[in-house]
Amino acid sequence: MKNEPARRRLARIRCLLESIKRIEQGKSLPLPLCFVPAEVEYLREAECKTPSVLSIRGKPQNEAQCVGELPSVSNLQLFASGDEFFNNNGSWIKLCQKTLQKYCSGKQVKEGWVLAVPFDTKHGVGTPYLKPADVSSSSKGHKTIKSWQEAVEVCYALRISDPPSIEKYADKEAVQQLSSPPPNWSLDADEELAKFMADHVNKHEASLGNISRYVESVQVSSEEESKDALTDGDPDTYWETDGSQGRHWIKLSMRPGTVIRQLFVTVDSKDDNYMPCHIVVMAGDAASLKEINETFIDASYSGDVCIVKGLTEYYNIIQIRIKECKDEGIDTRIHGIKLISESEKEPGLNQDLFTSTELI
């Protein structure tokens, strides 16, 4: 639909206005805003070779009792609630009963958790063990709601008929917890929580340089054999093009949910007329890219040049177009790509932050 982006934006504005009104009236937040899917399909991350077997724990802790195991097979299919839990071990998912029955057969297991994304305080978020399945591949006629964004758009977009019910797709317990504050909660408690988080939460949880966790693939306009130089971290290596002037590009296929805060290219002024001086960045889907930034580079500069800053939404494709080089050079050299990224799927609040030792 031609006006679909406008419809989505208006739906979110209507939801925001209702949320403000409910807060003023002391009521619970709108349910679509607090939507958590009751069931999310997960697949084994193909790039992750270890651990060979994933343990199912009775609680979201590495030290908790092991109640079952998930085998390391390519066709592994499991289902979990969309209510994720993040602590010092990483991001945990709570398995649905049908998955527990399949992999914990013969046991009376009421609750089972699997570590989907490892984490440690020194290196940050690691390579995911499990990832959500691509919901776009689901067959027609089986449309489900998989995120709060979809729930808001479905419930608040203008339509002739009544909006569909979202309750059958929701994790009711998780939605209830999100929609209403704890008993006796107050504005003073809100202020204290904000101060506590400002003092303790790392404001710069991001990765610079190693883009493999955020980019599924890198494609280039020419000279495929040298594109690895873009991500090897060595400023002395480079990708050198072989093509027509102004038609060189690098395409990044982003992992689902990744939002780029800053994107850099590494250049070297000693490259003479291979030195890029005019870069345009396009973003969107493969069929509909739009310009999001334009950068002119000083021909005497060497180092990392920021070509994108402050994105607030996820784009499937990011394309870097080298439009012009120094002294009208035909081909170009790029010594590296780096990014500072934060993922909408990465958990941002560590539950272990609220331990008694931290709260003292």
- Interval 179-190: pLDDT, tens: 988 888 887 888
At 95 the pLDDT is 93
* Structure confidence at residue 205 as a pLDDT band (50, 70, 90): very low
Q: Of 117 and 271, which is predicted with more confidence?
A: 271
Query: What is the Cα–Cα distance from 16 to 352, expressed in whole angstroms?
Result: 30
At 4 the pLDDT is 66
pLDDT at 317 over 70: yes
C-alpha distance from residue 158 to each of 14, 32, 34, 154 (Å): 10, 15, 20, 9
pLDDT at 47 over 60: no
* Cβ 346 vs Cβ 125: under 8 Å: yes
- 260-296 per-position pLDDT tens digit: 889 999 999 999 999 999 999 999 988 889 999 999 9
Phi and psi dihedrals of 202, rounded to 5? -70, 115
> How far from the centroid of its chain's Cα atoms is residue 18's Cα?
27
At 357 the pLDDT is 60
At 35 the pLDDT is 94
At 113 the pLDDT is 93
For the segment 40-46, the average pLDDT, to the nearest whole number, is 79
Residue-by-residue DSSP string for 251-319: EEEEPTTEEEEEEEEEE-GGGGGGSEEEEEEEEEETTEEEEEEEEE--TT--EEEEEEE---S--SEEE
- For the entire predicted model, the pTM comes to 0.57
Query: Which of 29-38, 159-168, 232-241 is predicted least confidently?
Result: 159-168
* Structure confidence at residue 346 as a pLDDT band (50, 70, 90): very low
Query: Which of 6-10, 91-95, 220-224 is predicted least confidently?
Result: 6-10
pLDDT at 174 over 70: yes
- 212-230 per-position pLDDT tens digit: 778 888 999 999 999 989 9
| Mean pLDDT estimate for the chain | 83
pLDDT at 239 over 90: yes
Percentage of the chain with pLDDT > 90?
A: 37
C-alpha distance from residue 297 to each of 146, 156, 338, 339 (Å): 42, 44, 17, 18
- 21-30 per-position pLDDT tens digit: 998 888 899 9
The residue among 53, 178, 155 whose CA lies nearest residue 114 is 53
Encoded tokens for 284: 């969107």
At 197 the pLDDT is 75
Query: What is the Cα–Cα distance from 266 to 332, expressed in whole angstroms?
Result: 12
* Structure confidence at residue 359 as a pLDDT band (50, 70, 90): low
